[in-house]
Structure 1
Amino acid sequence: MKIKKVNIAKLVGKGYKDYWRFKGRYRVCKGSRASKKSKTTALYYITKLMQYPEANLLVVRKVFGTLRDSCYKELKWAIHQLGVDNYWDSTTNPLEITYIPTGQKIYFRGFDDPLKITSITVDVGVLCWCWIEEAYEITDENSFNMLDESIRGKVPDGLFKQITMTFNPWNEHHWIKQRFFDAKDKDILSKTTNYLCNEFLDDADKKVFETMKKNNPRRYKVAGLGDWGIVDGLVYENWEEKEFNIDTIIEQRNIKSAFGMDFGYTNDPSTLFCGLVDEASKEIYVFDEVYKHGMSNEKLYREVNGKGYSKEHITADSASPKDIDHLRELGLRNIKGSRKGKDSVNNGIQYIQDYRIIIHPNCVNFLTEISNYTWDKDKFGNKINKPIDDFNHLMDAMRYALEEFIKGEVFSFD
Structure 2
Amino acid sequence: MITEATFSRNFREKLLPAWNLHPRYLDSCGGARSGKTYSILQMFVLKALAEAADGSPAKITSVVSETLPHLKRGAIRDFKSIMQSWEIWNDRQWNRTDNIFTFSNGGMIEFFSADSPGKVHGPARDRLFINEAQNVDYETARQLFIRTRDRIIIDYNPVREFWVHEHIQGRPECVSIHSTYKDNDFLTPEQVAEIESNKGSGNWWRVYGEGKIGQAEGVIFDFTQIDAMPESSDMVETYGIDFGFTNDPTVIVHVKVHTGRKEIYVDQLEYRTGMLNRDIIRTLDAYKVPKRTIPIFADAAEPKSIAEIAQAGFNCKPSYKATRKAEQIAFMQQYKMFITKRSVEGIKEARNYCWAKDKDGRPLNEPQAFADHFMDAMRYAAYSPFADFRKSGHYKIINR
Superposed pair shares fold, TM > 0.5: yes
Rounded to whole Å, the distance in 1 between the matches of 2:49 and 2:357 is 51
**Cα separation, partners in 2 of 1:407 and 1:75, compared to 1, 3 Å:** closer
Q: Residues 87-166 of structure 1: matches in 2 within 5 Å?
A: 89-90=93-94, 92-99=96-103, 101-119=104-122, 127-138=125-136, 140-149=137-146, 151-152=147-148, 161-166=150-155
SS at match of 1:223: helix
Of 211, 222, 225 in structure 2, the residue corresponding to residue 226 of structure 1 is: 211
TM-score of the superposed pair, with normalisation by structure 1: 0.78
Equivalence for 1:285: 264
Equivalence for 2:224: 241
Counterpart code for 2:263: I
Listed one character per residue, the Cα deviations across residues 220-263 of structure 1 (whole Å, up to 9, x for unaligned) are 33222212232222333xx342657744x626xx3222322222
Point out where structure 2 has 5 or more consecutive residues left out of the alignment. Answer: 396-400
Q: Residues 358-377 of structure 1: matches in 2 within 5 Å?
A: 358-377=338-357
Matched, 1:320 2:302: yes
Listed one character per residue, the Cα deviations across residues 166-187 of structure 1 (whole Å, up to 9, x for unaligned) are 2333x2154444444xx41123
Q: Is the 8 A contact 1:111 1:117 kept in 2?
A: yes
**Cα separation, partners in 2 of 1:107 and 1:261, compared to 1, 3 Å:** same
Equivalence for 1:21: 20
Q: Residues 147-296 of structure 1: matches in 2 within 5 Å?
A: 147-149=144-146, 151-152=147-148, 161-169=150-158, 171-180=159-168, 183-201=169-187, 203-213=189-199, 216=201, 218-236=203-221, 239-241=222-224, 243=226, 246-247=229-230, 250=232, 254-281=234-261, 283-290=262-269, 292-296=271-275
Residue 42 of structure 1 and its aligned partner are, at CA, apart by: 1.8
Listed one character per residue, the Cα deviations across residues 126-170 of structure 1 (whole Å, up to 9, x for unaligned) are 7212223333333x3333334334x24xxxxxxx5233232333x
Rounded to whole Å, the distance in 1 between the matches of 2:317 and 2:18 is 50
SS at match of 1:315: strand
Residue 47 of structure 1 and its aligned partner are, at CA, apart by: 0.7
Listed one character per residue, the Cα deviations across residues 85-113 of structure 1 (whole Å, up to 9, x for unaligned) are 579944535533221x2122222222344
Q: Is the 8 A contact 1:351 1:406 kept in 2?
A: no
**Cα separation, partners in 2 of 1:379 and 1:385, compared to 1, 3 Å:** same
Q: Is the 8 A contact 2:14 2:177 kept in 1?
A: no
Counterpart code for 1:35: S
Rounded to whole Å, the distance in 1 between the matches of 2:244 and 2:394 is 19
Q: Is the 8 A contact 1:259 1:275 kept in 2?
A: yes
**Cα separation, partners in 2 of 1:240 and 1:57, compared to 1, 3 Å:** same
SS at match of 1:398: helix
Residue 299 of structure 1 and its aligned partner are, at CA, apart by: 4.5
Point out where structure 1 has 5 or more consecutive residues left out of the alignment. Answer: 121-125, 153-159
Q: Is the 8 A contact 1:194 1:224 kept in 2?
A: yes
Residue 324 of structure 1 and its aligned partner are, at CA, apart by: 2.9
**Cα separation, partners in 2 of 1:382 and 1:193, compared to 1, 3 Å:** same
Q: Is the 8 A contact 1:286 1:363 kept in 2?
A: no
Residue 49 of structure 1 and its aligned partner are, at CA, apart by: 1.0
Equivalence for 1:45: 44
SS at match of 2:62: strand
Equivalence for 1:32: 31
Counterpart code for 1:115: G
SS at match of 1:67: helix
Q: Is the 8 A contact 1:241 1:361 kept in 2?
A: no
Equivalence for 2:316: 335
Q: Is the 8 A contact 1:29 1:37 kept in 2?
A: yes
Rounded to whole Å, the distance in 1 between the matches of 2:281 and 2:140 is 34
**Cα separation, partners in 2 of 1:390 and 1:353, compared to 1, 3 Å:** same
Equivalence for 2:83: 79
**Cα separation, partners in 2 of 1:202 and 1:193, compared to 1, 3 Å:** same
**Cα separation, partners in 2 of 1:5 and 1:296, compared to 1, 3 Å:** closer
TM-score of the superposed pair, with normalisation by structure 2: 0.80
Of 368, 377, 390 in structure 1, the residue corresponding to residue 370 of structure 2 is: 390
Counterpart code for 2:268: E
Of 59, 74, 88 in structure 2, the residue corresponding to residue 70 of structure 1 is: 74
Counterpart code for 1:172: R
Listed one character per residue, the Cα deviations across residues 2-38 of structure 1 (whole Å, up to 9, x for unaligned) are xx99559966433323333253333232212331212
Q: Is the 8 A contact 1:339 1:412 kept in 2?
A: no
Counterpart code for 2:160: E
Rounded to whole Å, the distance in 2 between the matches of 1:368 and 1:202 is 22
Matched, 1:399 2:374: no
Counterpart code for 2:100: E
**Cα separation, partners in 2 of 1:409 and 1:201, compared to 1, 3 Å:** closer
Q: Is the 8 A contact 2:253 2:378 kept in 1?
A: yes
Q: Is the 8 A contact 1:112 1:362 kept in 2?
A: no
**Cα separation, partners in 2 of 1:362 and 1:211, compared to 1, 3 Å:** closer
**Cα separation, partners in 2 of 1:338 and 1:168, compared to 1, 3 Å:** same
Rounded to whole Å, the distance in 2 between the matches of 1:271 and 1:87 is 32
Q: Is the 8 A contact 2:28 2:154 kept in 1?
A: yes
Rounded to whole Å, the distance in 1 between the matches of 2:101 and 2:145 is 22
Counterpart code for 2:132: E
Equivalence for 1:123: none
Dislocated runs of 4+, deviation >6 Å:
8-11
Q: How many residues align?
A: 383
SS at match of 2:198: helix
Computed over aligned residues only, the root mean square deviation of the Cα atoms, in angstroms, reads: 3.5
Rounded to whole Å, the distance in 2 between the matches of 1:51 and 1:26 is 21
SS at match of 1:276: strand
